[in-house]
Amino acid sequence: MLSLDRFLFAFMVFSSGINKTKDIYFKYERYITPAAFLAGFIWDNLTLRRIDLLFENLTFIWNLLIVGVGIILINGYEAGLIRWRFADRFLKFAPLLMQFSFGGLFSAFFVFYSRSASVFSSWPFLLFLLVLFVGNDFFRKRYLRLTFQLSVFFIALFSYSVFALPVLFGKMGAVVFIASGIVSLLVIGGVIFLLWKIVPEKVKKSQHALVFCIGGIFFAFQFSYFANVIPPIPLSLKESGIYHSVERISNDSYIYKVSYERAPWYLFFEDQSSVFHLEPDSKVYIYSAIFAPTKIETLILHRWLYFDAEKKDWIEMSRVPFSISGGRDGGYRGYTYKSSVKPGKWRVEVINDRGQVLGHRTFKVVEDDLIGELATEYK
């Protein structure tokens, strides 16, 4: 989130002076912007660790503060209420600084939400975040418009609150999600109130557009949550696999011994085969490791689905639950199994108790008396 674009900008400001910085930046903007965009995104992917760590959350809050204060200062300056000695020089860069902060926020949001998402069920929300992140570089002029400023700020507030409140209180569910929306409304309401004190005419002129946009965003988030489009953040699936056996090596140990069929040599990017050769009277195991913040305890289920070739549809065969408690970096591990598995195409989804999908494994079961040598691992 502390992306290269903001580092370069800050470095140029303090090392070269305001006027020189402005000339350098805008002269080479078409080269700096895409390079910083790519570098910042790669940096976020490499450096953002856990969603419940203090540093990550302080960085989110810092960027939100920059945006909130920037909105107030920009509008106060345009109204002629800010007459500091160097205000004219510094506040010309405020929209640019807001743009950089929004870029850092939505880059980090995309990283964390994508870690919690199953693409086939959450792609609309991930696409929405990606559009905001990629489109951020084209929004600079729009950041001068009050309604646009506050609408994007509200999206950022809500996106942060969705996982900040579960991390803070150690609970997930509909009540916590609705509370996240209410907290976001209170914060954006406080900013609008301050703006009304500073630029009442501007706020009054935009009031209908603000109600429509912020209200629309609020209800769009609610609809997306209850339609299971928003990923089940702060949970994330760290690992999953289909195995011939899963066994705990001792009662005092949390190490599991698993056996599986290796993928063909030409599928060098995969470890496991997508074809499961099933011996008579044997079982199919699904193992998964789910990360959850330290305080959170929740229920996880493995939903077993079979593809009906005649109906051309996935048929749910069973749901097997197990509880998890958060805190382990590699994720809380659990497994379930199914007996009497018929040949054909199967999919096992890892879901929470609301049916939100963290991930899935798809495989084909083939009856075979000779399955060959199995690979063994310890987890």
- pLDDT for 236 beyond 80: yes
Lowest mean pLDDT among 4-18, 53-67, 183-197, 230-244: 4-18
- pLDDT for 4 beyond 50: no
Q: What is the pLDDT of residue 95?
A: 72
All domains of the chain, ordered by start, with CATH? 4-226 (no CATH), 236-378 (2.60.40.1930)
Q: What is the pLDDT of residue 35?
A: 60
Q: What is the pLDDT of residue 283?
A: 93
In angstroms, the CA 153 to CA 201 distance is 21
Structure-block tokens of residue 224: 């997306």
* Average predicted confidence (pLDDT) for the chain: 83
Q: What phi and psi values does residue 362 have, to the nearest 5 degrees? A: -115, 135
Q: Which residues have CB under 8 Å from 281's CB, separation 6+?
A: none
The mean pLDDT value for 9-14 works out to 47
In angstroms, the CA 61 to CA 75 distance is 21
- pLDDT for 104 beyond 90: no
Q: What is the pLDDT of residue 8?
A: 46
- pLDDT for 137 beyond 70: no
**Could you read off the pLDDT of 168-202 as tens digits, one per residue?**
998 889 999 999 999 999 999 999 999 999 889 98
- pLDDT for 16 beyond 50: no
Q: What is the pLDDT of residue 210?
A: 93
Q: What is the pLDDT of residue 85?
A: 61
Q: How confident is the model at residue 103 (pLDDT cuts 50, 70, 90)?
A: confident
CA angle 91, 94, 97 (to 5 degrees): 145
Q: What is the pLDDT of residue 40?
A: 61
In angstroms, the CA 317 to CA 307 distance is 10
- pLDDT for 218 beyond 90: yes
Q: What is the pLDDT of residue 144?
A: 64
Q: How many CB atoms lie within 10 A of CB 333?
A: 20
Q: How confident is the model at residue 2 (pLDDT cuts 50, 70, 90)?
A: very low
Ramachandran class of 292: left when φ > 0, alpha when ψ lies in -120 to 50, beta otherwise: beta
Give the long-range contacts of residues 62-69, CB within 8 A, separation 24 or more. 63/1, 63/101, 63/102, 63/104, 63/105, 64/101, 64/105, 64/153, 64/156, 64/157, 64/160, 66/97, 66/98, 66/101, 67/98, 67/101, 67/102, 67/105, 67/153, 67/156, 68/153, 68/187, 68/191
**Could you read off the pLDDT of 144-163 as tens digits, one per residue?**
688 888 999 999 999 999 99
Structure-block tokens of residue 22: 């402005």
Q: What is the pLDDT of residue 15?
A: 44
Q: Per residue, what are the HEC states of the chain? A: CCCHHHHHHHHHHHHHCHHHHHHHHHHCHHHHHHHHHHHHHHHHHHHCCCCCCHHHHHHHHHHHHHHHHHHHHHHHHHCCCCCCCCHHHHHCCHHHHHHHHHHHHHHHHHHHHHHCCCHHHHHHHHHHHHHHHHHHHHCCHHHHCHHHHHHHHHHHHHHHHHHHHHHHHCCCCHHHHHHHHHHHHHHHHHHHHHHHHHCHHHHHHHHHHHHHHHHHHHHHHHHHHHCCCCCCCCCEEEEEEEECEEEECCCCCCCEEEEECECCCCCCCCCECCEEEECCCCCEEEEEEEECCCCCEEEEEEEEEEEECCCCEEEEEEEEEEEEECCCCCCEEEEEEECCCCCEEEEEEEEECCCCEEEEEEEEEEECCCCCCCEEEEC
Q: What is the β-pairing status of strands 236-243 and 284-291?
A: antiparallel
**Could you read off the pLDDT of 291-326 as tens digits, one per residue?**
888 778 788 999 999 999 999 999 999 999 877 765
- pLDDT for 338 beyond 70: yes
Give the whole-number percent of the chain exceeding pLDDT 70. 79
Q: How confident is the model at residue 209 (pLDDT cuts 50, 70, 90)?
A: very high
